[in-house]
Amino acid sequence: MDKDTNYYNSRPCINQLLSIILLKMEKIELSDWREKWKEKEITAKEAIDKIIPGNRVFIDTACSEPQALTSELIKQSDKLIDTEILHFLTIGPEKYFKNKAEDLFRHNAFFIGKTLREEINKGQADYTPIYASEIPSLFLTGRKHIDVALIQVSPPDPNGFCSLGINVDIAKPIAQSSYINIAEINPQMPRTLGNSFIHMKEIDYFVYNDYPLLEFHFEAPDEIAERIGNNLANLVENKSTIHIGFGDLPNATLKFLEDKKDLGMHSHYITDNIIPLIEEGILTCRKKNYHPEKIITSFALGTRKLYNFVDNNPFIEFYPSDYICNPRYIGMNKKMVSINSARQIDLTGQVNAGTEGYRFYSGFGETIDFMRGSAFSKGGKPIIIIPSTSRDGEKSRIVPHLDEGAGVMLSRGDVYYVVTEWGVAYLHGKSIRERILELICIAHPKFRQSLLEEAKKLNYIYSDQMLSCDDKGRICLYPGEYETIYTTFNKEKIRIRPVKTTDEPLLRELYYSLSERDRYLRFFELKKEFTHSKTQFEVNIDYNNVFSIGAFIGEIGKEEMIGNATYYLNPKLNMGEYSFLVREDYRGKGVGAFLYQHIIIIAKEKGLKGLYGSIHIQNKSAVRIIQTGGYTKITPPEAGEKELFYEVFFSKEDSLE
């Protein structure tokens, strides 16, 4: 018995010893790969010597840029007359242009990084506008040939497979199409999984370079980015699959998803910001229906921390951009949320994301692919996030018309959600008039009135259209602090929030849904018309003299107002004249009582001492609700009248005056 016990106890030690031996054997094997493929190893100078004038050369993307080969290419550039250099995104420190003639060798970018932005706008380099999903087919079909591909890969495994590491997007399709593949083999390149491998047989020559990879650092979110992130987070449901577009702002929004559950990711690129979401059990991919339990992406853009994280990590798989960015595949994800930044949006919904006037700034990238793919998704949300003003605050990014020369990346029909630090606008399926009001309401307050006047000049909206202003004509800010959730007895969640300009059609629909009896009880007359000229005054309010809240069901863009409560301040009494209503199918669920209690909280904070009003004597349920508000006085109707008068005081002292 003791002998058997000792034997079983010794097995872990034996297993550990075997593992160490196997690991050492594997390291010996891996160290032999240079000997095995020695006929392919050359110096960086010899590698660039393989390029001849007139060749078309591809340089690997972003942080995968092969630094030894790029540096040598620039050194030898004087010999490379009429050579075309192709890029997707350049971020490296090397400057390709320094006292060089513009036709010495010509750069062609599929997406514009800061390294080439100045040269492209000076006419010294070219830009090819094309969707990320379509770039690989240019080369795989032979429409564009590649003479030499300069790529960076990990050392080969025992079977001879190198990983393209942190960048697969167009590098793999181009390597499959190129006449000559020259690889910079770097042991610091992570071995990533998915469709990310290239065999040493497909590599014609290699240069060994043990050197840290390039790193990319995003800007930390400022106050405006934080407000945008918080507004965006309200749109992201649990179990959503996330894509982030290129830029500091989309990347920053990941930090505001910390209260979500079971998110997935299908994104053209990933950043360091995914790591805490994974470690905290937020980004799990457990509920993801397409590539379940996997993050799928094309490239990583970040720091050494991210590179170490993706190394041999089976949770993250890399695929070429024609797969990752294909709208058909993107749309197979349920609840696909695509988060993209923009530079400008006009009042009708046209989006400029790639230019500054006539100057090119970035490119199509994957924005259109993912916006359309998420629109195909069941429960998907295509989202544009944009600060309301330029960095200096002097220009509105929501404009009557795009700047002269600006490119329209997304048409009016492509835009669904627009998020600024001032709120969320939903445009899809809305008329020009409706979408203009949606966008004005999330523009910076100092530009709203001028935007309204421009829209009137263009005959886009009602000539008498108002905005929420105080008695001095100043734009009133939406009091988002009074937003809350009411959960009914049967667990249905109803959003309670202040009403705003864009709620006018929802309020009219609520009024028209009332029966004749309900209209009579609410208005003390049988109202039949609720036109714009009559109802706009009920939503364009200053939140001081008039405060109105609504009860809403349905997600943003598909909302219905099922209840409303309003008070009108009587400054002589310092009390508010109160009225409320609830749609018939939501009565008996506590909505009216909750609206009443919530508006009492608001009125107290505004310094009112109470509420008062009239109720039809047949409206017994309303009387019961009013009696719960505080110190209540009810005056019965006189003979022949049908209205009773009530006063509700918030303090006992006021009720005794």
Of 287, 278, 292, the residue nearest 237 (C-alpha): 287
**Alpha-carbon dihedral 117, 122, 124, 127, rounded to 10 degrees:** 50
Token readout for 478 is 């939406």
pLDDT digits (tens, 9 = 90+) for 541-569: 999 999 999 999 998 888 999 999 999 99
In a domain, 236, yes or no: yes
With H, G, I as helix, E, B as strand and everything else as coil, classify residue 508.
Answer: helix
Q: What is the CATH number of the domain that holds 573?
A: 3.40.630.30
First to last CA, the chain: 94
pLDDT at residue 154 tops 50: yes
Average pLDDT for 372-399? 96
Q: Are 71 and 94 in contact (CB under 8 A)?
A: yes
Q: What is the CATH number of the domain that holds 176?
A: 3.40.1080.10
- pLDDT band at residue 4 using 50, 70 and 90 as cut-offs: very low
Q: What is the 3-state secondary structure of 366-425?
A: CHHHHHHHHHHCCCCEEEEECCCECCCCCCECEECCCCCCCCCCECHHHCCEEEECCEEE
In a domain, 58, yes or no: yes
Average pLDDT for 241-270? 96
In a domain, 424, yes or no: yes
Q: What is the CATH number of the domain that holds 260?
A: 3.40.1080.20
Mean predicted lDDT score pLDDT of the chain = 90
Q: Give pLDDT, residue 2.
A: 44
Q: Are residues 394 and 539 in the same domain?
A: no
Average pLDDT for 395-404? 95
Residue ranges making up the domain that contains 114: 36-208
Q: Give pLDDT, residue 361.
A: 87
The count of structural domains within the chain is 4
Q: Give pLDDT, residue 621.
A: 86
Q: Are residues 118 and 150 in the same domain?
A: yes
Token readout for 174 is 């181009």
Q: Are residues 444 and 487 in the same domain?
A: no
Better-predicted residue by pLDDT, 517 or 345: 345
Token readout for 60 is 């690997």
pTM of the complete model? 0.86
In a domain, 465, yes or no: no
- Distance (Å) of CA 653 to CA 89, 570, 603: 70, 19, 17
Q: Could you give the CA distance from residue 355 to residue 408 in angstroms, rounded to a whole number?
A: 9
Share of the chain above pLDDT 90, in %: 73
Q: Give pLDDT, residue 112.
A: 84
Token readout for 629 is 């508000």
Q: Could you give the CA distance from residue 380 to residue 241 in angstroms, rounded to a whole number?
A: 9
Q: Are residues 420 and 364 in the same domain?
A: yes
- Distance (Å) of CA 480 to CA 423, 438, 439, 615: 9, 16, 17, 30
In a domain, 336, yes or no: yes
| Other CB atoms within 10 Å distance of the CB of residue 279 | 10
Q: Which residues pair with 484 in a beta bridge?
A: 496
Rg, Å, the chain Cα set: 32
pLDDT at residue 409 tops 60: yes
**273: Cβ–Cβ under 8 A, 6 or more apart, which residues?**
218, 251, 252, 254, 255
Token readout for 232 is 């965006």
Q: Could you give the CA distance from residue 579 to residue 573 in angstroms, rounded to a whole number?
A: 17
pLDDT at residue 9 tops 80: no
Q: Could you give the CA distance from residue 29 to residue 25 in angstroms, rounded to a whole number?
A: 6
Q: Could you give the CA distance from residue 323 to residue 319 in angstroms, rounded to a whole number?
A: 7
Of 425, 402, 408, 417, the residue nearest 371 (C-alpha): 417
- pLDDT band at residue 8 using 50, 70 and 90 as cut-offs: very low
> Half-sphere exposure of residue 643, counting CA atoms within 13 Å on the CB side?
12
Of 271, 248, 212, the residue nearest 64 (C-alpha): 212
Token readout for 543 is 């939140």
Q: Are residues 302 and 284 in the same domain?
A: yes
- pLDDT band at residue 3 using 50, 70 and 90 as cut-offs: very low
pLDDT digits (tens, 9 = 90+) for 61-101: 899 999 999 999 988 888 888 889 998 888 766 566 555 55
Q: Could you give the CA distance from residue 480 to residue 234 in angstroms, rounded to a whole number?
A: 13
Q: Extract the runs of DSSP E, i.e. beta strands, from 432-544.
A: 484-487, 493-498
Q: Are residues 262 and 386 in the same domain?
A: yes
With H, G, I as helix, E, B as strand and everything else as coil, classify residue 24.
Answer: helix
513, amino acid identity: S
Token readout for 200 is 């040493």
- The residue among 457, 489, 507 that closes a domain is 457
Q: Are residues 309 and 450 in the same domain?
A: yes
- pLDDT band at residue 102 using 50, 70 and 90 as cut-offs: low
Q: Are residues 280 and 335 in the same domain?
A: yes
pLDDT at residue 472 tops 90: no
Q: Are residues 430 and 567 in the same domain?
A: no
In a domain, 603, yes or no: yes
- pLDDT band at residue 333 using 50, 70 and 90 as cut-offs: very high
- The residue among 394, 424, 457 that closes a domain is 457
Q: Could you give the CA distance from residue 517 to residue 526 in angstroms, rounded to a whole number?
A: 8
C-alpha 215 chain-centroid distance: 23
pLDDT at residue 576 tops 80: yes
In a domain, 468, yes or no: no
Least confident window among 12-21, 464-473, 514-523: 12-21
**Is 571 exposed, middle or buried, given 0-12, 13-18 or 19+ CB atoms closer than 10 A?**
exposed
Q: Are residues 165 and 234 in the same domain?
A: no
pLDDT at residue 7 tops 50: no
C-alpha 576 chain-centroid distance: 41
pLDDT at residue 411 tops 80: yes
**Is 18 exposed, middle or buried, given 0-12, 13-18 or 19+ CB atoms closer than 10 A?**
exposed
Identify the residue whose tokens are 């904070």: 605
Q: Extract the runs of DSSP E, i.e. beta strands, from 514-572.
A: 546-553, 560-570
Token readout for 337 is 């949320």
- The residue among 156, 177, 208 that closes a domain is 208
Q: Could you give the CA distance from residue 324 to residue 159 in angstroms, rounded to a whole number?
A: 27
pLDDT at residue 276 tops 70: yes
pLDDT digits (tens, 9 = 90+) for 103-150: 566 888 898 877 788 888 888 888 999 999 999 999 999 999 999 999
Q: Could you give the CA distance from residue 505 to residue 560 in angstroms, rounded to a whole number?
A: 10
Q: Are 577 and 525 in contact (CB under 8 A)?
A: no
Q: Give pLDDT, residue 518.
A: 83
Average pLDDT for 481-491? 94
Q: Are residues 266 and 413 in the same domain?
A: yes
In a domain, 593, yes or no: yes
Helix axes 504-512, 532-539, angle to 10 degrees: 120
> What are the respective helix, strand and coil percentages of the chain, to the nearest 5?
35, 25, 45
Q: Are residues 187 and 84 in the same domain?
A: yes
pLDDT digits (tens, 9 = 90+) for 188-208: 999 999 999 999 999 999 999
Helix (H) or strand (E) holding 340: strand 336-341
